[in-house]
Amino acid sequence: MNEKPSVLIIGGGIAGIQASLDLAGRGFQVYVLEETPTIGGRMAQLDKTFPTMDCSICILAPKMMECYRHPNIKLLTYSELKEVKGSVGNFQVKILKKPRYIDETKCTGCGVCAEHCPIEVPNEFDMNLGMRKAIYMPMPQAVPRLMTVDKENCIDCKLCTKICRAGAVDFTQQPQEVELNVGAIIIATGFDQYDPSEIVEYGYQKHRNVLTALEFERWVCASGPVGGHLLRPADGGIPKKIAFIQCVGSRSRKFGTPFCSSVCCMYATKEALIIREHAPDVKVYIFYTELRAFGKGFQEFVNRARDEYGVKYIRSRPGEIREEPTKSLSIWYDDTLTREIKSLSDVDLVVLCPALVPRPSNKKLAEIMGLELDDCGFFKVVHPLFAPVDTSVHGVYVCGYCQSPKDIPDSVAQASAAAARAAEALAMVKMQSLGGN
Amino acid sequence: MAEQEPRVGVFVCHCGINIGGVVNIPQVVKYVKTLPNVAYAEDNIYTCSAEGIDKIKAAIKEHSLNRVVVASCTPRTHEPLFRGACVDAGVNPYLFELANIREHCSWVHMREPEKATEKAKDIVRMAVARASFLKPQEESEVPVDPTALIIGGGISGITSSLCLANQGFKVYLVEKEPELGGMLRKIYRLYPTDEDASKVLEASIRAVRNHKNINILTSTNIKSVDGYIGNFEITALKDNGESKFKVGTVIVATGAVEFKPVGMYGYDKYDRVLTQVDLEKVLQSGKSDVDKFFKPQRVAMIQCVGAREEKPPRAYCSRICCMVAVKNAMLLKEWYPESEVYIIYQDMQTYGKDYEEHHRKARVADIKFINYTKENPPQVVPLPDNRLRVTVYHALLGEKRELDCDLVVLSTPLVQHESARELSKMLKVPLGQDEFFLEAHVKLRPVDFATDGIYVCGTAHGPKDIGESLSQAYAVSSRAASPMANRKVRTEAITAVVDRDRCVGCRMCERLCPFGAHRIEEGKSTVIDALCKGCGVCAAACLRRAITMRHFTDDQIMAEVKTAFLTKAPTQPEAPTNVGGKIGE
Amino acid sequence: MPEFEPKIVGFLCNWCGYAGADLAGTSRLSYPTNIRIIRVMCSGRVEPAFILNAFENGADGVLVAGCHPGDCHYRSGNQHAEKRIEKTKRLLDLLGIGSDRLRLEWISAAEGEKFASVIKDFTEKLRGKGPNPLGRELEATPVLHNGTESIYDILKRTKALYCQECGKCSSSCPITRLDPLYSPRLAVEKALMGLQDAVLTDKGLWSCLTCYLCRQRCPLDIEYDELIRTCRAKASAKGISGNCAHEGVLFSLSRLMANPETRQNRLGWIPQEAEIAKTGDVLYFAGCLPYFNVVFDDIGVKNIEIAQSMLKILNVAGIKPVLMENERCCGHDLSFAGDLESFEKLAKMNIAEIKKSGVSTVVTTCPECYRTLKVDYAELFGAKLEVLHASEFLSNLIGDGKIKFNGKLAKKVSYQDPCRLGRHMGVYDAPRKVITSIPGVELVEMTRNREGALCCGVSAWMGCGRHSKQMQIERLAEAQATTADLLVTACPKCQIHFNCALCEKLPVKKEEVAIEICDLSVLVARALNLTQTPNMVERIKNE
Amino acid sequence: MTEQFEPRILGFLCNWCSYAGADLAGVSRISYPTNIRIIRTMCSGRVDPLHVLEAFRQGVDGVLVTGCHPGDCHYITGNYACEKRVNFLKDVLAQVGIDPRRLRLEWVSASEGGKFAKVVKEMIEEVRKLGPSPLRKERQEETVAT
């Protein structure tokens, strides 16, 4: 290969973005494969990030833009991996580009079409708490700034076609297959959220004032479905008491997953702080099993939450959440440190912190690439200590949450690590080929 | 360059109906034509469409424009596109200006078309005024020496040396001890894989020794570091012998040391009280030797000794101690099945997958876990038979337990080397409250320093296990490789320029600059373009007004200030502001 | 061989019977040596449990002697005695011991003569009858570790070693909420700390309802019910036992049934018109209903109706079920009370009997029999039986159109999930399907239902006390709040316990809790016009 | 004053957070009055006291400076430097007889389009209450004079 070395990155979240910027920055050709219409991943959905309380999109959006503009990066959004052949230095990859029904060269992302589209459906980006149109952009800062037609919900009224002055809407579009030749592959598919409704005693999807953590992130986010106002989901009332419950479906051998998601104690603390900043008079409780604040500055962060913001930490995994006629909730718990059995009543909002699980689609990826998943669905690495990003296939690397539970900094570091390993492998392949002649 | 009269071309965009639906575009165009320096003005349905771009290029040629203003949307997304058009038509990209009449006007004043139109006029007028003062800018480049200095020969340093060397970069690996290996040399078994640390270490040490690109300097200290990214000059000190060499990047992998709990739980009083690292040493000697020493009946391990304290520096959780305790507890249980092993903890930090699994295994192996709270820590008192009585209040059980132990192990946190402070001054990179090296951004730049070309990995950055340290070790290899692979770094065009006649070397700018871009040479400030990020904090601060920001000069900003609100269109172009004197002078 | 000498235990009241015996002495009246005398202040003190115990321990006959009617030193003690003896006789008949081995006599202080003659006569009669069949114990070779398993092994087997001390169990436990001194979490943690004695001597060990709520919710699926069962066995092996309800009568009955020699007459309840078969596919395992019917008739629970209704329904569906002449207690209660030895005997004999009958399906109306036959018999003794609870069997019949309801039963009905049927066995839908398939019946759920249902307050006849009553009242109130006319349950014991609560002095207004409790099969029988029960609610109102 | 006085507000917005926030207000169509004109700087730390004073000299009725939230600054500490200056400026303004409330510093992040609009509205109302800047008249005369 005498043209510039190239790498395919699967997943356009923060890990994928970091890996692609690292590699593109040193002259590699990078392809970023993302199954949704925009890159940004989970981090784009977050309101703020711990322990610095950075506004998530503020620090992410510039990197997304950088990816988009970078001459060495090609974004393949709204696409899926179909086939991988070959070996390190020379993988042949087939990718299916799903039709957007939008001419990417014409669409300016102005969004007038969406204003006129008659169909409203729940917005996945807002964890289905908000609505979007059948022709839509998942979020205001979407990259690329292109509309997408959601064919499943589209009623073919063609109003968008008429309204678009740029003439960008194109219903004749077909799925197209893209063939790539890359030297290495990096997997960064991130995580999904475990659906806690099977843990009946917590009444998720039964009690309307019970949300999951990711739902809550959107709920309080200034760009979220209710413009960042702190409200009771059931009736839009003003909450006075909010509780977080840790380990919902994690560290469990019955429902959910056996592992610890590693980030919940901290994001709950962060969300608690967000609440206190929104409304200093709201009482916030965090029910935890073991407070895991092991990262840099985390314990200090928790201390601040406890001492300065008056967040109440209770060591207990509550037994049940009951809904009162007022739609307020009462939480039954055993304060394990005082051994008192109590119930916390008149709670306006309970945020469940569910296990964060590897994506089910990993299974398909693993099959396509001949990789191994562990019993929980994480991608296996050759050695957890000494080869933290190497998969069993030489030339294929893994980083971020899809390798094992981790927070943003660890994911970013691991993404750079994967980039380094990819570069290293390709450098050695090159040396060998040179050594050959 | 020869100052030629500004000839501004203005392109006002309808953006379909996004702008045109509110702002009266023709009126704006008509008004714009009356503005000074405007040589040409037109409107387009979509200026950003291929067609719109072509029209800009054409107009530049036809009307020999040397400034371009597009009145449409936000520069944050579209500036690069239009700059591209200018470049294609031979106009320096920094002579382009965007007037944001969509996000900041039509979209937010939909119900007030007249006022919105007035505002749009003002916005364009400001842009034109600013454009008239724009100067062409070049993004210069600084050469980068494809050589890395790695400070610290622990497993992190070794790993990133190998990774960089394999990519063909030269590496200086500097270790202050006579032997490579760092903390790992002190450890017996590794979790969660239960391997022998020394074996693994040998292998990787052999690899670095045999690598042609790696130059290992043991028993060596760094004396001084001068220069900046791409061009660092290093002076190393080996038993009073000095050596000097040049490198392009510097990686800090100095690791950490175990906190010695002097005065805690009788650590320095009773010989049966050890730290985990002490215990590792004991275990390293092998079971048969330990048997000679003693056969433990009951062992207690106390977590968070000297960690998670009220105040810094040791307010942090040391991340690895819980797993270390679990690992060693299980090892003891394996060697002495009859013994009782207790782990006295606050919160078991067995996060993630493997560790949680191990924690569970430990419980199944009948390791006993006792929970204590900070308010109520355990006590250790000696017994006549030189055993130790550990008294602890089991917080979850609500009762006091007395354990007569023949071994007490204290799990203490990793802490920074004393020498780190000196190094941080040398490199001009900060330490955090916890005294570990402080990265550029906790979230998104975990292994970079704010100062380009210097990186950090492993436990020098904070406590972490081997896997996490190695992830970072590889990460820095990627971060450092970029400039080295390119052999150069592009510098920002938007940087500070110092007027040496005005500068009195008051060092205000040097103090303010978080990127270390200002260096005082011969009593005057000089800006290292390679480091300047162009924020302008220094320019605004300079009392002598000796600092100008490229592309955000006082003239340019003032021009906007002055033209923001005018009742009638000015006939003359704005005169350059006299910024000679300081206010109140 | 030497002539059989019956052993007689005599309970004599202090004022008449005992004095009479004294008089016999002072008047040098001789009588056989077969009697051993126990003095009680009043014949009214003699409980069925005492008598059953005597027989358990090999007595061939029991004599109770009290003052003549009207002469009772305590006014009416002897009348109570009469009632109790009556009840006990019925039980003895069911057990096949025979009511004639129990004798109640009025003997005044002046009737030395009578005393002597009674002894003579009773001794002769018993000599004629021969020894109490249940007198001699038979040795079984136990497979169950009755207290031999170490605490560590128990913790390992029941997964308690995984415990994260999170407190979800204790915040779920209905007992802990009423009595913080007891907590599943603390019990486990004590065990984890290796505090054996603390665990076995802890009163809490016997407060647990093994209602499975904690296990249901435990993220680590710790088998707390099993942990308790094993620890209780371990405790009783050390001679520690909890206080059992009803003075242990029901345990005595079960233990007596555990004797291989037992030949019961337990099928007396079967109505004339009902059709049963010697052999067939379906065996109806009625459980201890005939005994309950005797023990609890004073609180107006006609438990036997459950069996009778079930039998009639089966017939209506064209099924002639097999009923076992010598069916024995399934052993559920003994096993959860720590007597694994007797449990094992019962299990083995039942398994043998069932195998012998050659049926393909066993149907039970009692969820505890259901769990025991289906799970414990299989797990502990490898007996794979096809067992269905009535609710499942009925919903199948209804599904297959074998049962058709003609006519409506205009009732609002709420349903109590029995712990054994619901959480233990995961049967939630079948009973609901049965209920809702009855024309006119509307099912209204209580706030705590299915997995979260509240237990009826007592299990395995252990420690019925203040907290049990509180739970029952709480639950009945919850049921009443649904505005249902009927609280349907699929467990005879729920029915007993709720009714019991209603019979006692209520801490709240009757109308807040007084709801009629009705078994599922009885409900179905009613809908098919096969039976008519008196309405509990009425009974309470005009008390 | 008979007809409604329309304040003139000049806004200095940092490129990374506040300007993006203002963009978001646009994208989300959150409307606010037209009284503000916006100048983009790379960092709120670039805003020079001189720029602000010049603005007042030009007769604007209020100056709004917005930057990233503490800790979010793209340039690490620029917003802190800015905060110091604004406080210093308020004193200066007070001395030269300009109500310090005419100068306002706000932290607006890229996700706070709503907040940006709110801040602008508030500021306009506050300044409206304060009435025209004392320097405004002179300036107008000046312009007429030239």
- CA B255 to centroid of chain Cα atoms: 17
What is the pTM assigned to this prediction?
0.88
- Choose among B59, B98, B480: nearest CA to B253: B480
Rounded to the nearest 10 degrees, what angle do helices C520-527 and C304-316 cross at?
50
Q: Which pLDDT tens digit goes with each residue over A109-124?
A: 888 999 999 999 999 9
Cβ contact C193–B396 (<8 Å) = no
Cβ contact D71–A227 (<8 Å) = no
- B77 inside 8 A of chain A by CB: yes
- Split at pLDDT 50, 70, 90, the class of D137 is low
Q: Which pLDDT tens digit goes with each residue over C162-193?
A: 999 999 999 999 999 998 888 999 999 999 99
- Split at pLDDT 50, 70, 90, the class of D144 is very low
- D118 inside 8 A of chain A by CB: no
DSSP B275: E
Cβ contact C152–B401 (<8 Å) = no
d(CA A196, CA A203): 9
Tokens of B219: 């028993």
Contacts of A278 in chain D (CB under 8 A): none
Query: Which residues 39-98 of D have a C-beta within 8 angstroms of B?
Result: 39-43, 45-51, 53-55, 58-60, 74-78, 81, 85, 92
pLDDT score of C543 more than 50? no
- Split at pLDDT 50, 70, 90, the class of C538 is very low
Quote the ipTM score.
0.87
d(CA A97, CA A92): 16
- B111 inside 8 A of chain D by CB: yes
Nearest CB among A319, A336, A339 relative to C172 is that of A319
Q: Does domain C8-129 have CATH number 3.40.50?
A: yes
- Split at pLDDT 50, 70, 90, the class of C383 is confident
For residue A312, which phi and psi values (nearest 5 degrees)? -95, 120
Contacts of C165 in chain A (CB under 8 A): 336
Tokens of C518: 């009705």
Q: Which pLDDT tens digit goes with each residue over B255-268?
A: 999 999 999 999 99
Contacts of B397 in chain C (CB under 8 A): 186, 189-190, 193
For residue B522, which phi and psi values (nearest 5 degrees)? 45, 50
Q: Which pLDDT tens digit goes with each residue over B313-336?
A: 999 999 999 999 999 999 999 999
% of chain B with per-residue pLDDT over 90: 81
- CA–CA min distance D29, chain A (Å): 11
- CA–CA min distance B377, chain A (Å): 14
pLDDT score of B1 more than 70? no
Contact A101, A171 (CB under 8 A): yes
* DSSP states along B525-548: EEE-TTT-----HHHHH-TT--EE
Contacts of B447 in chain A (CB under 8 A): 413, 416
Contacts of B444 in chain A (CB under 8 A): 14, 18, 59-60, 63, 408-409, 412
- Choose among B48, B76, B73: nearest CA to A105: B48
Cβ contact A140–D114 (<8 Å) = no
pLDDT by 10-residue block (mean), chain A, 437 residues: 84 98 97 97 94 83 89 97 97 97 92 94 95 94 93 95 93 96 98 97 96 96 86 95 97 94 97 90 96 95 93 97 96 95 96 97 97 97 96 97 97 98 96 72
**Which residues of B fall below an 8 Å CB-CB distance to C?**
340, 360, 363-364, 366, 368-371, 394, 396-398, 401
- A164 inside 8 A of chain B by CB: yes
Contact B350, B356 (CB under 8 A): yes
Fold of the CATH domain C262-395: Rossmann fold (3.40.50)
Query: Which residues 109-128 of A have a C-beta within 8 angstroms of B?
Result: 110, 112
- A289 inside 8 A of chain C by CB: yes
Cβ contact B472–A374 (<8 Å) = no
d(CA A134, CA A14): 27
For residue B160, which phi and psi values (nearest 5 degrees)? -75, -30
Q: Which pLDDT tens digit goes with each residue over B445-498?
A: 999 998 899 999 999 999 999 999 999 999 999 999 999 999 999 888 899 999
User: Residue D35, exposed/middle/buried by CB under 10 A (0-12, 13-18, 19+)?
Assistant: buried
- Choose among C331, C332, C338: nearest CA to C200: C338
Which of D16, D44, D109 to mutate to probe the A interface, most A CBs <10 Å?
D109
Tokens of C101: 């081995």
Q: Closest chain B residue to D63 measured between Cα atoms?
A: B561
- CA–CA min distance A140, chain C (Å): 40
For residue C64, which phi and psi values (nearest 5 degrees)? -115, 125
End-to-end CA separation in angstroms for chain D: 27
DSSP D40: E
Q: For residues B391-414, give the mean pLDDT.
A: 96
Contact A414, B391 (CB under 8 A): no
pLDDT of residue B239: 87
Q: Give me the sheet containing A329-335, strands edge to edge.
A: A320-323, A329-335, A340-347
pLDDT score of B570 more than 80? no
Q: Closest chain B residue to D81 measured between Cα atoms?
A: B537
pLDDT of residue D76: 83
Q: How far is CA B290 from CA A175, B286, B287, B326, B332, in A?
A: 68, 6, 5, 19, 10
- CA–CA min distance D107, chain B (Å): 17
d(CA C291, CA A384): 64
Diameter over CA atoms, chain C:
77
CB pairs under 8 A between A and B: 207
Q: Closest chain B residue to A107 measured between Cα atoms?
A: B49
d(CA B476, CA B445): 11
User: What sections of C388-484 are H helices per DSSP?
Assistant: 390-399, 429-436, 466-481
pLDDT score of C23 more than 70? yes
- What mean pLDDT is reported for chain C? 91
The amino acid sitting at D17 is C
- D43 inside 8 A of chain A by CB: no
CATH code: domain C406-542 is 3.40.50
Nearest CB among B74, B533, B557 relative to D75 is that of B533
Contacts of D144 in chain B (CB under 8 A): none
- D110 inside 8 A of chain B by CB: no
Give the position of tokens 């099912």. Answer: C443
The number of CA neighbours under 13 Å toward the Cβ of B580 is 1
Q: How far is CA B267 from CA B298, B327, B388, in A?
A: 18, 21, 12
Contacts of A58 in chain D (CB under 8 A): 16-17, 20, 68, 72, 109-111
Cβ contact B351–A262 (<8 Å) = yes
pLDDT score of C540 more than 70? no
Cβ contact A259–B356 (<8 Å) = yes
The amino acid sitting at B557 is I
Cβ contact B565–D34 (<8 Å) = no
d(CA A400, CA A405): 8
d(CA B100, CA D21): 13
Cβ contact A376–B18 (<8 Å) = no
d(CA C375, CA A288): 36
Pairing of strands A340-347, A349-354: unpaired
| Chains with ≥3 CB–CB distances under 8 Å to C | A, B
Contact B258, B415 (CB under 8 A): yes
Contacts of A254 in chain C (CB under 8 A): 218-221
- D26 inside 8 A of chain B by CB: yes
Nearest CB among A52, A58, A227 relative to D110 is that of A58
| Chains with ≥3 CB–CB distances under 8 Å to B | A, C, D
Strand partners, D64: D11, D104
Cβ contact D111–A57 (<8 Å) = yes
| Count of beta carbons in the 10 Å neighbourhood of residue B148 | 29
Cβ contact C193–B360 (<8 Å) = no
pLDDT of residue D41: 94
pLDDT of residue B4: 79
Where in the sequence of chain C do the CATH 3.40.50 domains occur? Answer: 8-129, 262-395, 406-542
- D10 inside 8 A of chain B by CB: yes
Query: Which residues 515-554 of B have a C-beta within 8 angstroms of D?
Result: 515, 533-537, 539-541, 549, 552, 554
Contact A268, A213 (CB under 8 A): yes
Query: Which residues 510-569 of B have a C-beta within 8 angstroms of A?
Result: none
Give the position of tokens 């699926």. Answer: C221
- D137 inside 8 A of chain B by CB: no
